[in-house]
Amino acid sequence: MNLLLVGALPPPIGGTTVLFKQLVQDIPQKCEVRLRVIDISRSKVGGVHDVIHAFRCLALLLWHLPWASVMSFQTSKRGAITFGPIIHIISRLLRRRWIFRGFGGDIHIWHQNSVSLQKQLFDRTVLKADALLFERKTAVEYFKDKCENPVHWYPNNRHSPDVPINLGRSIRGHRRFVFVGHVKPSKGVAEIIEASKILRSRDLSVDVYGPLQEGVTPFWFTDTAVKYCGPLASEDVIETLTRYDVLLLPTYFDGEGYPGIILEAYCAGIPVISTNWGGIPEIVTAETGILVQPRDAVGLANAMRTLIDSDHLLSILRNGVRSKAREFDSERWTQHFIDLCHQLATH
């Protein structure tokens, strides 16, 4: 089978680019697939650069699509709205089957609330793809009645770790908490700092990894129990997480789907304290972590206190995490994607 993938590779590092890169790297291990990739990442943005980029992507698509048995366009909501109609029109003109994979957690919310011409064009093109894959189960249920062709759940996923998972090495009464991600207000960084102040008398440590964004500076962490540790290479994330007891992700970031760092925490064997926000309640359950309300530092502190005080609950959550990690194993989902491509190519 000749498979053409169209999507954005890093840089920049982000949920969409990391996921697309992971699939691109996994597929060559499947001997029955011949793969070509069109990278739609932009090195420069704005003005003439956007025009040049658009023509470049169009030319590559017209060159490679006749070779392909199946093409898959994998992008965020913005990319789907901007390039999805063009992808569909060219695919139909060249009589090629194509799969749309939507990253992120809010594409169905946009569709539900929009009355724009963009939505009408999206309905008549992108939703006419031969198969559609969405990250959230709620998005799958929403679009099932609006699409003529199959709509599948295809979640964010991660490789099983090559490092020993966390088996609980912390001493009683002390917990090591960790945050990994873009260090910005909408990821709940201020709430983490405030919660650490509320728990100042407790024996705990909180380490924060990731690039500083949106006005956050190292001075935010001065005279707090929270230590800023700098950026972390993607290949070091899971091994680093195994050194900790609990992941903190009190996010209220718009468009939050299934955060990759939560799945990486599962791979590392550590439970999660996160927020009742976006797609997170679909993957963080009472068996794997604790959910608090967004922007609630007191609720976050109470959840942290619960896991500081209860070795028994922490042990139960660790067992749940190990089971949950298998549900999001990338080898399983890559094979599922290949099987779907084969079905379209042979029918």
Domain assignment present for 164: no
Q: Is 94 helix (H, G, I), strand (E, B) or coil?
A: coil
Domain containing 74 equals: 2-157+329-345
The neighbour count for residue 188, using CB atoms within 10 Å, is 29
23 pLDDT exceeds 90? yes
pLDDT band at 165, cuts 50/70/90? low
Which contacts of 318-321 are long-range, i.e. CB under 8 A and separated by 24 or more positions?
318/166, 318/167, 318/168, 318/269, 318/270, 318/271, 320/271, 320/285, 320/287, 320/288, 321/265, 321/266, 321/269, 321/270, 321/271, 321/272, 321/288, 321/289
Whether residue 167 lies inside any domain: the answer is no
Looking at the 3D structure of the chain, how many domains does it have? 2
Least confident of 63-67, 77-81, 302-306: 77-81
- 323 and 179 in a single domain? The answer is yes
Residue 163 pLDDT: 55
Q: Omega into 164 within 30° of 0, i.e. cis?
A: no
Co-location of 6 and 150 in the same domain: yes
Same domain? For 191 and 288 the reply is yes
The per-residue pLDDT of the chain, averaged, comes to: 92
Assigned domain for 245 exists: yes
Q: Is the pLDDT of residue 284 over 90?
A: yes
Confidence of residue 164 (pLDDT cuts 50, 70, 90): low
State residue 161's pLDDT score. Answer: 66
Residues 119 and 197 in one domain: no
- Residue linked to tokens 């063009």: 86
> Is residue 264's pLDDT more than 90?
yes
For 68-82, the pLDDT digits (tens) are 999 999 999 889 998
Q: Same domain for 268 and 288?
A: yes
Residue 168 lies in a domain: no
Residue 162 pLDDT > 90, yes or no? no
Q: Supply the CATH number for residue 284's domain.
A: 3.40.50.2000
Based on the domain organization, do 148 and 11 belong to the same domain? yes
Residue 44 has pLDDT above 80, yes or no: no
| Secondary structure class of 128 (helix, strand, coil) | helix
In a domain, 170, yes or no: no
Q: Are residues 192 and 79 in the same domain?
A: no
Please count the other Cβ atoms lying within 10 Å of the Cβ belonging to residue 289. 26
Average pLDDT over residues 134-153: 95
Confirm whether 186 is domain-assigned.
yes
Whether residue 168 is predicted with pLDDT greater than 80 in this model: the reply is no
What are the tokens at 300?
A: 């976050």
Q: pLDDT band at 259, cuts 50/70/90?
A: very high
Instruction: Say if residue 166's pLDDT is above 60.
Output: no
Q: Give the pLDDT confidence score for residue 173 in this predicted structure.
A: 60
Same domain? For 44 and 106 the reply is yes
As given in the structure block, the two tokens for residue 341 are 């491509």
